[in-house]
Structure 1
Amino acid sequence: MPTRRPLLAALIAPAPLLAQAPAPAILAAGATKHAVEELQQALRAAGQPVPEAAFDTVGALRDRVLAGERPVLVLLSAEAIAAIARRNPIPPGNIAAVGRTGVGLAAPAGHPAPDISTPDALRAALLAAEAVAVADPARGATAGRHFMAVLDRLGIAEAMRPRLRLVPFGVEGVAMAGRGEVPLAVSQATEITDRPGVRLVGLLPDSLQLWTLYQAALLQDGEDGRALLRRLTSEAGKAAFGRIGFRPAG
Structure 2
Amino acid sequence: MTSLKILSGGAARGLVASLAPTFKEQTGLAIEGEFGAVGAMAGKLRGGWPADIVVLTAALIADLARENLVTTGSISDIGRVETAIAVRTGDPLASVDDAASLREVLLGADAIFVPDTKASTAGIHVAKILQQLGIAEAVADRLRIYPNGATAMRHLAETDAVKPIGCTQSTEIIDTKGVKLSGSLPKGCDLSTIYTAAVATGAALARQAQTLIDLLTDSNRRELRTRAGFLDARKQLQS
**In the alignment, is residue 111 of structure 1 matched against residue 86 of structure 2?**
no
Query: Which residue number corresponds to residue 237 of structure 2?
Result: none
Distance 1:71 1:154, change over 3 A: same
| Per-residue Cα deviation, 1:36-79 (whole angstroms, up to 9, x for no partner) | 11111344578932122321110000111122224111010011
Is the counterpart of residue 233 in structure 1 residue 222 in structure 2?
no
Q: Do the aligned partners of 1:39 and 1:240 also contact (CA within 8 Å) in 2? A: no
Pick the structure with more strand per residue.
Answer: 2
CA distance in structure 2 between the partners assigned to 1:191 and 1:185 by the alignment: 11
Matched-pair contact (CA < 8 Å) for 2:71–2:198: no
- Identity over the aligned pairs, expressed in percent? 33
Contact 1:23-1:71 within 8 A present in 2 as well: no
Amino acid at match of 1:27: L
1:53 to 16, 24, 33: 33
The number of aligned residues is: 229
**Alpha carbons of structure 1 residues 62 and 222: separation in structure 2 relative to 1, 3 Å:** closer
Contact preservation (8 Å) 1:98, 1:238: no
TM-score (norm 2): 0.87
Counterparts of residues 1-250 of structure 1 (less than 5 Å)? 25-44=5-24, 48-88=28-68, 90-138=70-118, 140-182=119-161, 183-193=164-174, 195-219=176-200, 220=203, 222-235=206-219, 237-250=221-234
How well do the aligned residues superpose, as a CA RMSD in angstroms? 2.3
Unmatched segments (≥5 aa) in structure 2 = 235-239
Compare CA radii of gyration and give the structure with the larger one.
Answer: 1
Q: Structure 2 CA distance, aligned partners of 1:238 and 1:93?
A: 22
Gaps of 5+ in 1: 1-20
- Partner of 2:156, secondary structure, is helix
Structure 1 41/178 Cα, relative in aligned 2: closer, same or farther at 3 Å?
A: farther
After TM superposition, the score normalised by the length of structure 1 is 0.84
Residues 191 and 62 (structure 1 numbering): CA distance in 2 closer, same or farther, change over 3 Å? same
Kindly report structure 1 stretches of 4+ aligned residues shifted beyond 6 Å. Answer: none
